[in-house]
Structure 1
Amino acid sequence: MDYVIRPVRADEWRAARELRLAALRDPAAPLAFLESYEDAVAQPEEFWRGRAERAANGTTVLQFVAEAGEGGRWGGSVVVLVEEAGSLDFFGRPVERRQAQLVAVFVRPEARGSGLAGALFSAAVEWAFGLEGVMRVRLYVHEDNRRAEAFYRKFGFVHTGGAVPNPGDPSKADREMELKALQP
């Protein structure tokens, strides 16, 4: 199936909600996401509208979706967060330089192995490296999420040696991986 990779639009909150809930029902969800299906499904419409609006803003965050043809079902998504130097990241640690972080990565099971994840990552990374001052894109991967880690490595991400305790299970670690921009 052919997909169009594009940024989400603010009015697409229903499709964004459906895809997120599908992601949270995936067997890998406990390793990949910091939110449970039960918590997400209980959120009111205003929550989902606000989430889609923020994900479409294109300055501090941008969500890329893979749409099956015009108006078709979404096959996957990735969100790019822009982290500003001097701010604190999600884990409360200082951000040393302007950078981007990829989060909320999901591809529906029927689209896995099709190249869709690579297409989503290519769009997200290209957008991030097009931002002024962004020379590094990072992500975190749970130590037991081997499938995701293998994809990230194949795409070119490398471990930095950094890690944080997993918020859902502090006995496990989320390992930092990064991709640096090519220097001219």
Structure 2
Amino acid sequence: MSDITVRPLGVEDWEQYRSVRLTALAESPDAFVATHADEEAEPEQFWRDRMERSTRLLAEVDGEPVGIASVGEVGPQKPEAAQLFGLFVRPEARGSGVATALVRAGAQVAAEQGRAQLYYWVGTDNGRAVAFASGFGFRPTGLRRPMRVVSEDDGEEEVAMTLPLGGDRGGIPSL
């Protein structure tokens, strides 16, 4: 595979983000709370507003979009932290380092914003995602919430995993 590039998108890139986001919703409907039908119907202003609320990252290989992720605020209760969300890699690019490149870029964005931690919510039953996040240096916290994605199995949970971004990283190599 060619080199992976990751770049932040600006408000003017809303159509490109929309295209990849709708692809994500169509290809992995069980991974997101939103639906393809709902978001496809949203007007331009919805997408422009979304671009301003969080940093949207686009991964490309040979100029073709292969993944997205977003970095945003956790909320007023944790001003020192950011969260990574909406991570998606096209099926044909999975296992090629795209997710790692997106997470690394997301951690860099959060660090540049002066954040000390990066949170990432992962389904407790999603062993692959937990292993990926752990291998990257994320550690589970005591924070749990019900899965926000509708599933057949009631009671599924997500765990907040956190990655320290500066200072003592507990033996985790710097990004």
Same fold (TM over 0.5): yes
* Closer/same/farther in 2, CA of residues 80 and 96 from structure 1, 3 Å limit: closer
Task: Pick the aligned partner of 1:67 from 51, 57, 60.
Answer: 60
% identical equivalent positions = 35
1:79 corresponds to which residue?
Answer: 70
Q: Which runs of 5+ in 1 are unaligned?
A: 56-60, 88-94
Q: Which runs of 5+ in 2 are unaligned?
A: 169-175
Q: Which ranges of 4 or more aligned residues in structure 1 deviate by more than 4 Å? A: none
1:176 corresponds to which residue?
Answer: 160
* 8 Å contact kept, 2:4–2:101: no
TM-score w.r.t. the length of structure 1 is 0.80
TM-score w.r.t. the length of structure 2 is 0.83
* Closer/same/farther in 2, CA of residues 146 and 49 from structure 1, 3 Å limit: same
* Superposition deviation, residue 181 in structure 1: 2.6
User: 1:54-112 deviations in whole A, cap 9, x for unaligned?
Assistant: 15xxxxx211111234xx2211111111335xx2xxxxxxx244211001001111111
1:138 corresponds to which residue?
Answer: 119
* 8 Å contact kept, 2:9–2:56: yes
* TM alignment of 1:13-162, pairs within 5 A: 13-27=14-28, 29-30=29-30, 32-52=31-51, 54=52, 61-69=54-62, 72-83=63-74, 87=76, 95-132=77-114, 134-162=115-143
Q: In 2, Cα distance between the equivalents of 1:33 and 1:146?
A: 17
Instruction: Report the aligned-residue RMSD.
Output: 1.9
**Count of residue correspondences:** 164
SS, match of residue 171 in structure 1:
coil
SS, match of residue 42 in structure 2:
coil
* Superposition deviation, residue 158 in structure 1: 1.2
SS, match of residue 148 in structure 1:
helix
2:7 corresponds to which residue?
Answer: 6
* Superposition deviation, residue 182 in structure 1: 4.1
